Copies of this chain bind each other. A is one copy, B any other.
Amino acid sequence: MDTATATQVLDSLASSLRLNIYRGLVRRGPDGMVAGEIAAALGLPANNVSFHLKDLTQANLVTVEQEGRFQRYRANIPLMLDLVAYLTEECCSGHPEQCTTYRQASRVSDGVLPALSRSLPPSPGGR
């Protein structure tokens, strides 16, 4: 992932409306939701939701599939996982032993940081 992609993804989620849409879709998993369903769930006008869905789709955070006259949306979970990798990439400049401090401070960190440490490149700056 590059900076431009990461910024686009983060910006797409930086609105509470879009964040709620995305989280709702994550919750549904592979089933997804159709546009009207999303708008109804959030109590918002359809065109407004459509506007933000387009934004999420362009960022590749959600996917669309035509289904008769409905549009079914699904969350793109793998992209989120890649974003996390990008955000914590080169943590501690390739000295994962320093990350130990962090692992203790979060509920879920046990699973996350070891995975990231494993995929760490050798640190270009190499200090």
Contact = CB atoms under 8 A, between A and B. Distances in A.
Interface residues of A, number: 53
- Kindly list the 3 A-B residue pairs having the minimum CB-CB distance in the complex, ordered from nearest: A111-B115, A29-B92, A78-B105
A23 B108 contact: no
Contact of A119 (B4, B23, B107): B107
Interface of A: 3-4, 6-7, 10-11, 13-16, 19-20, 22-23, 26-30, 77-78, 80-82, 84-85, 87-93, 95, 98-99, 101-102, 105-116, 118-119, 125
- Count the copies: 2
B81 A112 contact: yes
A88 B20 contact: no
- Dominant SS at the A interface? helix
A19 to B, nearest CB: 6
A93 B29 contact: yes
